[in-house]
A = this chain, B = another copy of it.
Amino acid sequence: MVRDPILLTPGPTPVPPEIRQVMARPIPHHRTPEFQAILKEVGAGLKTVFRTQQDVLIFTSSGTGAMEAAVVNLLSPGETALVIQGGKFGERWAEICRAYRISVVEFNPPWGKPLDLESVKQETTKNPSIKAVFSTLCETSTGVVFDIKGLRAAIGPKPLLVVDAISGLGADPFDMDGWGVDVTVSGSQKGLMLPPGLAFIALSARAWEQVDRSTSGRYYLDLRLAREAWKETDTPFTPAISLIIGLAESLKIIQKKGLDQVLANNRNLAESVRKTIKGLGLELYTDPACSSNGVTSVKVPAGVDGKELLKRLRKEEGIVLAGGQGKELAGKIFRIATMGAIGPEEIRVGLAALEKVLSSMGWKAVLHG
């Protein structure tokens, strides 16, 4: 095949050529006025995408680094967190909390289903010691988008609300300040169309107050160091310079289109994917009441080897889809991303290849309903 593989995966997503080109320029030093101007620019652009007035700080790490930063900077050993699980990344919040001896109250929505906000409310009321509630915006492993605005209403104003928007940011609607989110974390390789390697975090004023109180051990992810450096438009440790230069370009692309238009494009694209999938007689995994616009999960049809399907799509058609994660979903679903630089043309080619390979594997469309 002459063309490069088409990534339709929910991270990394394809990196547009104009971003790759600026990252391929000779590297500047990070402690120069030129690089500080870039840091200022990305700082402003990230606020727009997060929809927050707060500073958005940058870590050189995968998104998980920023998740851990949220945990260790807000909570001390022995304090209690409510964790909305319902997928691999929700479970990660609980794993991080436990690694730092935070007491975890698990809330387990069935995978692929919406949050039962009434039950969350009861759980919160029952446990007045809950200091923070951790959730994902888009649970990438299932394709569910959680109702964060509703979650804030359910838990009431008191607990800190911490949201993993790693794959949700720039993909699904999100309004940090408007929805009363205290901490938002995200990453570079999803809606922001960059290679992985950068993580982002923004905190409300009251979340910042906790940062000075937490007794959890931390250094590289210590937000006090990040905040001090950011006052001087700097980072406490050498940042991933080339990725930050790419980020400036990515934010320009998003600003030029407008965030609302980006989100509308994702929604239209996800809707067309879901329509085509159903038209092919395949079954969506995720409840339509809570389907993310950034990623669509599809059940592997009976009689088809899910791993073989993805392998053949990759090798024969140059189409990269994501499989299911964890023992619950490995081989049982596949996932198609509709965020970042993925557009109608990539989706058209990808879905045609999917139909072709499925047919060659003996699958026959059975039209439902």
Residues in chain A within 8 A of chain B (CB atoms): 4-5, 7, 9, 11-12, 14-15, 20-21, 23-30, 32, 60-65, 68, 72, 77, 95-96, 99-101, 187, 189, 195-197, 216-222, 237-243, 314, 320, 322
**Residues of B contacting A241 in the complex (Cβ-Cβ under 8 angstroms):** 12, 189, 195-197
Assess whether A240 is in contact with B27, with CB atoms less than 8 Å apart. Answer: no
**Residues of B contacting A32 in the complex (Cβ-Cβ under 8 angstroms):** 314, 320
Which of B12, B15, B20, B242 is the one whose CB lies under 8 Å from A30? B12
Q: A7-B29, A216-B217 are in contact. Are A197 and B320 (CB under 8 A)?
A: no
Assess whether A217 is in contact with B60, with CB atoms less than 8 Å apart. Answer: no
Give me 16 other A-B pairs in contact (C-beta within 8 A), A12-B30, A64-B219, A72-B217 excluded: A5-B26, A11-B238, A12-B29, A12-B241, A32-B314, A60-B197, A62-B239, A65-B237, A68-B220, A77-B217, A99-B217, A99-B222, A187-B238, A196-B240, A220-B221, A240-B240
Cα distance A317–B12 when bound, in Å? 39
**Residues of B contacting A217 in the complex (Cβ-Cβ under 8 angstroms):** 72, 77, 99-101, 216-217
Which of B61, B100, B196, B240 is the one whose CB lies under 8 Å from A195? B240
Q: A95-B219, A196-B238 are in contact. Are A9 and B26 (CB under 8 A)?
A: no
19 contacts between A and B (CB under 8 A): A12-B30, A12-B238, A15-B242, A20-B25, A24-B24, A32-B320, A62-B237, A63-B238, A64-B237, A65-B237, A68-B219, A72-B217, A99-B222, A100-B219, A195-B242, A196-B239, A197-B239, A240-B240, A242-B242
**Residues of B contacting A7 in the complex (Cβ-Cβ under 8 angstroms):** 26-29
Which B-chain residue is minimally distant from A62 (CB atoms)? B237
Assess whether B28 is in contact with A220, with CB atoms less than 8 Å apart. Answer: no
Cα distance A85–B189 when bound, in Å? 38
Q: A5-B28, A14-B27, A197-B197 are in contact. Are A99 and B219 (CB under 8 A)?
A: yes
Which B-chain residue is minimally distant from A199 (CB atoms)? B60
Assess whether B26 is in contact with A14, with CB atoms less than 8 Å apart. Answer: yes
Cα distance A40–B21 when bound, in Å? 27
**Residues of B contacting A237 in the complex (Cβ-Cβ under 8 angstroms):** 62-65
Query: How far is the CB of A60 from the nearest CB of chain B, in Å?
Result: 5
Which of B12, B61, B63, B219 is the one whose CB lies under 8 Å from A27? B12
Query: How far is the CB of A31 from the nearest CB of chain B, in Å?
Result: 8
Cα distance A5–B29 when bound, in Å? 9
Assess whether B197 is in contact with A240, with CB atoms less than 8 Å apart. Answer: yes
Which of B12, B23, B61, B100 is the one whose CB lies under 8 Å from A23? B23
Most chain B beta-carbon neighbours within 10 Å: one of A29, A72, A77: A29
**Residues of B contacting A96 in the complex (Cβ-Cβ under 8 angstroms):** 219
Q: A7-B27, A314-B32 are in contact. Are A65 and B61 (CB under 8 A)?
A: yes
Assess whether A23 is in contact with B26, with CB atoms less than 8 Å apart. Answer: no
10 closest cross-chain pairs (CB), A and B: A197-B240, A24-B24, A195-B242, A62-B237, A99-B219, A100-B217, A4-B26, A196-B238, A20-B24, A64-B237
Assess whether A24 is in contact with B23, with CB atoms less than 8 Å apart. Answer: yes
Which B-chain residue is minimally distant from A166 (CB atoms)? B238
